[in-house]
Chains A and B, each alone.
Chain A
Amino acid sequence: MAEVVIFYVFSAVTLFGALGVILHPNPIICALHLVATMCGIAGLFFGLNAPFIAAVQLMVYAGAVMVLFLFVVMIFNLKQEGKHIFSPGQFTNGLKVLFGGMFAGLLLSSILFKINNFGYLTPDKAAPQFEVKNIAKVMFTDYVFSFEILGLLLLVIPIGTVALSRVRGGTHAK
């Protein structure tokens, strides 16, 4: 019973937040909806027996990325966009929505196909696959080079962003 409640509550939060992101005219409110989506996804991860990943999701997305988004939106001091939140062009927009609908149909049919073929899948809830120790063992043995390359990426990113922002020597370049 618990997992039914978890799934419906958090997927409702997730999808509602996602709708808000793509439909609300004010970017700040969009960002707040995205925060709700991130929290909902963290809840879904809880429901999938992965509390560590859920906490990482909360820390990285809800705690860091969305704060950055909010900072940037506040820096921009954007006004409401009014009615025209979508790109102009009715024909192209219709085409885009049609394409999105077709893609959704493809996804839905493939998921249904998957269920019909693998519907018997039952997770082993006692299996230790999401114990953080197991994740860590795999990460630091099988994925060790990916891990080090990630370290390199995390070195390059701040250098790149600082170089982009051109703040060498003070906020308002002296």
Chain B
Amino acid sequence: MGSDLFEISVNIGKMLGIFLLMVQMVPLLVWVERRGSAFIQNRFGPNRVGPLGLTQLLADAVKFLFKEEFRPPASVAFLYYAAPVLALIPGALAFASIPLAPPFEVTFNGQTYKFLFQVFDLGIGIVFVLGISSLGAYALLFAGWGSGNKYSLMGALRASAQMISYELALGLSLVGILLIFGTFSFSEMVEMQRGPLSFTFLGQPTTISFLPNWGIFYQPLGFILFFAATFAETNRAPFDLPEAEAELVAGYHTEYGGLKMLMFYIGEYGHMMVASALATTFYFGGYELPFGSESLQQSFSPLAYSFILFGCFLTKVLVFLWIFIWVRWTLPRFRYDQLMDLGWKTMLPWALFNTVLTAVVVVLFHSSGS
């Protein structure tokens, strides 16, 4: 955590800040989602409360806060109340391990401190995020079984079966990116994606100066598979089978209302943010600017430069979040057997093919010595 009071307090402040960033993103995203869906469907959306309907979120929050507290008697109290809390934790922990900007140095009381622009760096980034997000199934199972409602249980079982099925495709699509970068650490990956596209082709160093050195150019298929699998992982449309209202009412949160419902939403949007941040980090250069980072670095102080790169990261993440919303209001929902077929019979083989292909290509590109 730190050696003295200043370092500890900055670290805790950073932790709270990053967590609140995730939580505060939710009302904004809900607004974007409602206005965006209205735009796509040629409606108006919420536009009465405040400019562009922006304060609608505040009104909604107050409404959620004053909803009646209700617990169905058939439910199991501990599981019923623990589930929404548990829905927050994996997203928050995963988001906290992603670097949002390069580390920055602060001088205080004549001492220089170095702070990471992330809550903690384990050095095994990817595996930690996969491990933590695999705990996300428990919030669903707690909610489903604890509610004492058969629709909840069915929704939870569907959701967790779907999550674990797509976790395979997700995990396998990342093997390609590991083969390219050869590291688990997010910050090392981002470092490698700095500068123009450069690689060794048959022993010849090659540089393509008009493209940034982003992972997407090495792993186009991997990116498509990864991004599609994250849609299923976050239970978003077109994979929002657990909430198929025609069949299952509202899935695992049928019996939830008020703030507890909102917490599931925070969890869902948190997962979306984690997925977007991961896609950015793996395939789109993380916080690195595509061009002109040298001149910017010289004209700003290191702290300001860190914040500029943080803005760059946030922009990329927001683009991905908009894609999430855009897809939700554009594509129809899958049927459950189609969903499972897609995960097991289409994406898993393609991800395997991607792995083998990448391995062959890496051998071809790097076997200069032999």
Contacts and interface: CB of A to CB of B under 8 A. Distances in A.
- In their complex, do chains A and B touch, with some C-beta pair under 8 Å? yes
B128 interface: yes
Interface string A32-59: 0001000100100000000110111111
Nearest to B132: A58
A74 B145 contact: yes
Given A67-B141, A74-B145, A132-B184, A62 B124 contact: no
A59 B153 contact: no
B124 A51 contact: yes
Contacts of A67: 137, 141, 160, 164
A62 B122 CA distance: 19
A59 B130 contact: yes
Contact of B122 (A42, A51, A70): A51
Contacts of B132: 58
Interface residues of B, number: 20
Contact of A64 (B122, B134, B141, B145): B134
17 contacts: A28-B145, A51-B122, A51-B123, A51-B124, A52-B184, A55-B128, A55-B131, A56-B127, A58-B131, A59-B127, A62-B131, A63-B164, A64-B134, A64-B164, A67-B164, A70-B141, A74-B153
A58 B128 CA distance: 9
B44 interface: no
A interface majority secondary structure: helix
Interface of B: 122-124, 127-128, 130-132, 134-135, 137-138, 141, 145, 153, 157, 160, 164, 167, 184
Contacts of B164: 63-64, 67
Contact of A58 (B122, B135, B145): B135
Contacts of A39: 135
A142 to B, nearest CB: 21
A119 B157 CA distance: 49
B169 to A, nearest CB: 15
Nearest to A68: B164
A101 B6 CA distance: 50
Contacts of B141: 67, 70
A42 B130 CA distance: 14
Contacts of B134: 58-59, 62-64
A74 B137 CA distance: 15
